[in-house]
């Protein structure tokens, strides 16, 4: 094992991070090679800098005018140069400040400076690499994003177990989760939670959030080592007052010494920049010191360096400028209100669903999902696509996901009426 990895592992010894790291997580480190030496030169090489492999002219990145002219308000270096491995420092600080503002329960808690990753999928993949491997178990809801299985089950060869996302009353399936956690005894477990949930568009109530946190504290107190990964891709899109409106990461951050909280989030949905491929990865646990969080951050940087090297410089530069724009918050509010209006319309229309189309509970995010009879979902999806030119997503053979976020409010009635007509035709 590399000496740098040994040093990082020694710094983490005895912590929950140490108990959770995968074999790869133990081996990975950030090298003191080209990138580290170039970063040092950027601070101290006041005469000439011949470290990084880019072409410059008068201190700015060389470029083609055909590309440069497409950008407004950014310098060549803000567009064309490499970003630091963990992201532009000002972007990381700005995102942390915004995270603290949106999650008051984080006040005074020690957490890592968010590392920039190449989209939330990359952030989840980095987490999987560091903590999941053969013999490990990932616990996630039965209704979830299909990419989780590719990342954990196929890439990392981690065993995946699911729990019922909803209980029979239509609330969060806390008892099912409790049963799965208890079945694993005190073994290490990775728990992946996504609120607002994809595909259902459901987020917990305040009472459900409290129950979930109490359950995690109970299991950690029993000696179970838990990595709680919160995929906050749709964070902030909460449309009902009764919904818990912070990230569960905020209270999990110092819940117990046996629980490592991980937050994967980003501007993708919140700031309507789906193609930017910029996300953030943040860690916290009770008892971790600054030195230990820095050791973990070095491992994160090593994993980033070994995969994408660094994330998009122009996307980060544009994001930073947007966050500093005086109209930023007002523009976000306007986008939220447009999505909330679509949600309200979707709820109204979902309430009219015919027999055989059962809308699952939804209160947030981009989606809602219908539950259908056995084997009907794919047949309905194909009928909608081939006979009506309407696209939906079949998940397994019983669930049909509707992204009402992607349909103008005035056309939602047309969408739902078409779905209902096609479903009734299939039922005949």
CATH number at residue 13: 3.40.640.10
Residue 153: CB atoms within 10 A of its CB come to: 15
46: in domain: no
Q: Which class for 108: exposed (0-12), middle (13-18), buried (19 or more C-beta within 10 A)?
A: exposed
Cα 45 from Cα 146, distance rounded (Å): 47
Q: How many domains does the chain have?
A: 2
Cα 299 from Cα 24, distance rounded (Å): 10
Can you say whether residue 125 is alpha, beta or left, with left for phi > 0 and alpha for psi between -120 and 50 degrees?
alpha
Q: What is the dihedral of CA 298, 299, 305, 307, to 10 degrees?
A: -160
The pLDDT score that the predictor gives to residue 41 is: 58
pLDDT, one tens digit per residue, over 206-219 is 999 999 999 999 99
DSSP secondary structure string, 294-342? HHHHHHHHHHHHTTTSS--HHHHHHHHHHHHSTTHHHHHHHHHHHHHHH
Residue 52: CB atoms within 10 A of its CB come to: 15
Can you say whether residue 244 is alpha, beta or left, with left for phi > 0 and alpha for psi between -120 and 50 degrees?
beta
Same-domain pairing of 282 and 386 = no
Cα 8 from Cα 31, distance rounded (Å): 12
353: in domain: yes
The pLDDT score that the predictor gives to residue 38 is: 65
Domain boundary among 324, 351, 385: 324
Same-domain pairing of 318 and 338 = no
342: in domain: yes
DSSP single-letter state for residue 119: S
Same-domain pairing of 182 and 303 = yes
Same-domain pairing of 222 and 357 = no
Same-domain pairing of 315 and 342 = no
Smallest Cα–Cα separation from 363: which of 246, 203, 210, 252?
A: 203
Same-domain pairing of 399 and 288 = no
Same-domain pairing of 260 and 304 = yes
Q: Which class for 164: exposed (0-12), middle (13-18), buried (19 or more C-beta within 10 A)?
A: middle
Residues of the chain with pLDDT under 70: 33-42, 44-51
Q: What is the dihedral of CA 301, 306, 307, 311, to 10 degrees?
A: 40
The separation between the first and the last C-alpha atoms of the chain, rounded to the nearest angstrom, is 65
Give the residue numbers spanning the domain of 421: 328-427
Same-domain pairing of 410 and 365 = yes
406: in domain: yes
Domain boundary among 324, 341, 363: 324
Q: Which class for 43: exposed (0-12), middle (13-18), buried (19 or more C-beta within 10 A)?
A: exposed
Cα 293 from Cα 295, distance rounded (Å): 5
Domain boundary among 324, 344, 378: 324
* Tokens linked to 214: 């109490």
Cα 391 from Cα 353, distance rounded (Å): 18
Can you say whether residue 170 is alpha, beta or left, with left for phi > 0 and alpha for psi between -120 and 50 degrees?
left
Smallest Cα–Cα separation from 233: which of 199, 185, 187?
A: 199
Smallest Cα–Cα separation from 124: which of 138, 108, 141?
A: 138
Smallest Cα–Cα separation from 350: which of 365, 374, 371, 381?
A: 371
Same-domain pairing of 14 and 92 = yes
pTM for this predicted structure? 0.94
Rounded to the nearest 5 degrees, what angle is found at the Cα of 372, between the Cα atoms of 371 and 374? 125
The pLDDT score that the predictor gives to residue 72 is: 87
45: in domain: no
Find the helix packing angle between 120-131 and 290-305, rounded to 10°.
110
Same-domain pairing of 246 and 100 = yes
Q: Which class for 169: exposed (0-12), middle (13-18), buried (19 or more C-beta within 10 A)?
A: exposed
Tell me the Cα Rg of the chain. Answer: 23
Cα 224 from Cα 207, distance rounded (Å): 24
Same-domain pairing of 215 and 105 = yes
Smallest Cα–Cα separation from 179: which of 158, 159, 161, 163?
A: 163
CATH code where residue 366 lies: 3.90.1150.10
Cα 271 from Cα 332, distance rounded (Å): 7
Same-domain pairing of 293 and 337 = no
Question: Length of the chain in residues, anyone?
Answer: 428
């Amino acid at each position: 094992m590399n000496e740098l990895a040994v040093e990082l592992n020694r710094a983490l010894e005895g912590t929950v991070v140490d108990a959770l790291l995968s074999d790869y997580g133990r081996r990975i480190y950030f090298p003191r090679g080209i990138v580290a030496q170039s970063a040092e030169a950027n601070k101290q090489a006041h005469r000439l800098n011949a470290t990084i492999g880019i072409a410059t002219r008068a201190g700015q990145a060389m470029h083609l005018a055909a590309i440069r002219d497409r950008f407004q308000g950014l310098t060549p270096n803000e567009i064309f140069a490499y970003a630091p491995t963990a992201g532009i420092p000002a972007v990381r600080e700005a995102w942390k400040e915004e995270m603290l503002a949106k999650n008051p329960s984080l006040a005074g808690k020690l957490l890592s400076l968010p590392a920039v990753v190449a989209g939330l999928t990359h952030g989840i993949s980095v987490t999987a690499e560091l903590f999941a491997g053969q013999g490990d178990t990932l616990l996630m809801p039965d209704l979830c994003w299909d990419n989780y299985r590719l990342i954990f089950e196929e890439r990392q060869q981690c065993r995946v177990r699911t729990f019922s996302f909803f209980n029979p009353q239509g609330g969060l399936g806390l008892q099912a989760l409790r049963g799965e956690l208890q079945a694993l005894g005190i073994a290490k477990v990775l728990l992946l939670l996504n609120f607002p949930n994809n595909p259902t568009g459901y987020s917990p109530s305040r009472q459900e959030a409290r129950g979930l946190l109490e359950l995690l504290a109970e299991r950690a107190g029993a000696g179970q080592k838990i990595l709680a990964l919160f995929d906050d891709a749709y964070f902030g899109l909460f449309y009902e007052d009764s919904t818990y409106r912070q990230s569960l990461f905020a209270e999990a951050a110092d819940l117990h010494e046996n629980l490592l909280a991980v937050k994967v989030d980003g501007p993708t949905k919140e700031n309507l920049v789906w193609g930017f491929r910029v996300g953030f990865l943040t860690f916290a646990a009770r008892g971790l010191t600054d030195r230990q969080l820095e050791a973990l951050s070095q491992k994160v940087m090593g994993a980033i360096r070994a995969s994408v090297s660094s994330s998009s410089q122009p996307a980060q530069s544009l994001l930073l400028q947007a966050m500093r724009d005086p109209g930023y918050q007002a523009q976000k509010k306007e986008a939220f209100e447009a999505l909330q209006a679509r949600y309200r319309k979707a709820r109204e229309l979902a309430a009219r669903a015919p027999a055989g189309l059962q809308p699952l509970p939804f209160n947030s995010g981009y989606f809602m999902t219908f539950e259908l009879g056995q084997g009907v979902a794919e047949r309905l999806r194909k009928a909608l696509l081939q006979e009506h030119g309407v696209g939906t997503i079949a998940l397994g053979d019983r669930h049909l996901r509707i992204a009402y976020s992607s349909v103008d409010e005035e056309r939602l009635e047309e969408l739902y009426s078409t779905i209902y007509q096609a479903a009734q035709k299939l039922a005949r």
